[in-house]
Amino acid sequence: MAGLETRGLCKGWDFPLLDQLDLSVEEGEFFVVVGPSGAGKTTLLRLIAGLESADAGRIFIGAREVTRIPPYHRRAAMTFESYALYPHLSVFENIASPLRARGERDPSVRRRVTAIAELLQIERLLERKPDEVSGGQKQRAALGRTLAADPEVFLLDEPLSHLDARIRHDLRRQFHTLEALRKTATLYVTHDYTEALSLGDRIAVIGGGGFLQVGSARDIYENPVSVEVARHLGQLEINVHDAELVAQGGQLQARVAGAGDLSFPVAEQHARQLTAASTSAKREVSLAVRPQHIALAGPDAGGVPGVAESFQAFGATGALTVTVGGATFRVLTSPDLDFREGMPVRLAFDTAHFLYFARDGGRNLARGESGDG
């Protein structure tokens, strides 16, 4: 039985935002929706919570249809991106709020709030007001209030977006271990792909009014259905260049447009799918290479010669921009390198990880077997 389901959900204002959205989250599943801001992530949560009414479609929580049920009877708990803690109440009373709404007795409220506060390590802050605690602590208090509600579905709206890196890492780890979240259907929305990939049992990439792709982290990362999905995920934006597929001596080659005679042999598994998809030997595609699938080659290891354009170090990684012919590639490197503009470099491309998309529409032309088409 699905913990949460939507069928044909539509919502729009002056423009359509969500169009015929079908979603199904199993009980105990941690489902992450990732997408750029304005894609309708928060709207989706608000529709499920009952804070907005759908233009069309149906929403089920558990076995119950809740499309017309007001939010206070839906048994959905939500954390707001803004935390939405009650400023005039202590952290204790904030967490206790759902219990008080149900009319629970004082001793049981106290027991439950204390247990939740210990779990979230905020037991020493219970008497403080929300404006007397830090951002991360506010976030935990808001999460505590959600946990106290003991709902049938958790709706988490960018709960980590306002936090600094260390607390974010800490809380992300906590999301993995919170038993309540592991027993109930959880819908988590974020614009941060790292968060999505690390948290989600399943991930949906949202865009253009619906889900572009739903699948495991690995599937979405390695087998994106479209260039849009590929662009959204990954550290440093993926390199995308127009290319031409040419058969040369029984070997399919991808010749990059506007980069002289730069061409790559198409890996065998891709070649099979690309030729199966079309009978013509020559074809216009978009060739995409993730920055981490390009390595720096040693001076005598061959590789493609290029010229360094710029280099940025980001602590744990570095980002090198290289021009090969007329085409620019972003390369993920280690941060402790020293490149100056105009320095010659040699690049080794991992062609097995190349992605081939249709020039119009951006559909992935060579999706691996693990994809569902």
Partner 1 sequence: MTRAPSRPPPAGRWPLIRALLLAFLAVWLLLTLFPIYWQFITAFKSTGETNLTVPTFWPREWHPENFAAIFFERSNLNALIDSFLIATGNTLASLFLGSLAGYAFARFPRQAGGENLAFWILSNRMFPPVAVLIPLFLLFDSLPWGTDSRLSLIILYLIFNMPLATWLMMVFFRDAPRELEEAAYLDGYTPARAFIKVTLPLVLPGMISVAMLCWIFAWNEYLFANLFVGTEVRTFTIVIPTFSHGSQTLWNLQMAFSLIAMLPPVVMFIALRRYMVRGLSLGVVKG
Q: Which position among 2, 56, 84, 277 is part of the footprint of partner 1 (CB under 8 A)? A: 84
154 contributes a contact to partner 1 by CB under 8 A: no
Q: Where are the beta strands (DSSP E) in the chain?
A: 2-12, 16-26, 30-34, 56-61, 64-65, 76-79, 153-157, 185-190, 202-207, 210-215, 239-248, 251-256, 263-265, 283-289, 294-296, 304-314, 317-324, 327-333, 344-349, 355-358
Q: Which stretch binds partner 1 (CB under 8 A): 3-11, 47-55, 337-345, 361-369?
A: 47-55
Q: Which position among 4, 32, 78, 181 is part of the footprint of partner 1 (CB under 8 A)? A: 78
**Would you say 190 and 34 are in contact if contact means Cβ atoms under 8 Å apart?**
yes
Query: Distance between CA 324 and CA 328 in Å, rounded?
Result: 6
145 contributes a contact to partner 1 by CB under 8 A: yes
**Within 10 A of 2 (CB to CB), how many other CB atoms are there?**
16
Taking the complex as a whole, the smallest distance from the CB of residue 99 to partner 1 amounts, in Å, to 9
Taking each continuous run of H as one helix and of E as one strand, the counts in the chain are: 10, 20
Taking the complex as a whole, the smallest distance from the CB of residue 30 to partner 1 amounts, in Å, to 19
Q: Which stretch binds partner 1 (CB under 8 A): 79-87, 110-118, 336-344, 360-368?
A: 79-87
Strand partners, 10: 56
Q: Which stretch binds partner 1 (CB under 8 A): 14-22, 31-39, 68-76, 169-177?
A: 68-76
**Would you say 259 and 244 are in contact if contact means Cβ atoms under 8 Å apart?**
no
String of contacts with partner 1 for each residue 90-129, x by CB under 8 A: -------xx--xx---------------------------
295 contributes a contact to partner 1 by CB under 8 A: no
Taking the complex as a whole, the smallest distance from the CB of residue 149 to partner 1 amounts, in Å, to 6
87 contributes a contact to partner 1 by CB under 8 A: yes
72 contributes a contact to partner 1 by CB under 8 A: yes
Q: Please name the residue that has the structure tokens 């004082």.
A: 106
Q: Which position among 82, 108, 121, 370 is part of the footprint of partner 1 (CB under 8 A)? A: 82
Burial of 345 (0-12, 13-18, 19+ CB in 10 A): buried
Q: Where on the chain is the footprint of partner 1 (CB under 8 A)? A: 49-51, 70-72, 74, 76-78, 80-88, 97-98, 101-102, 130-131, 138, 145, 149, 162
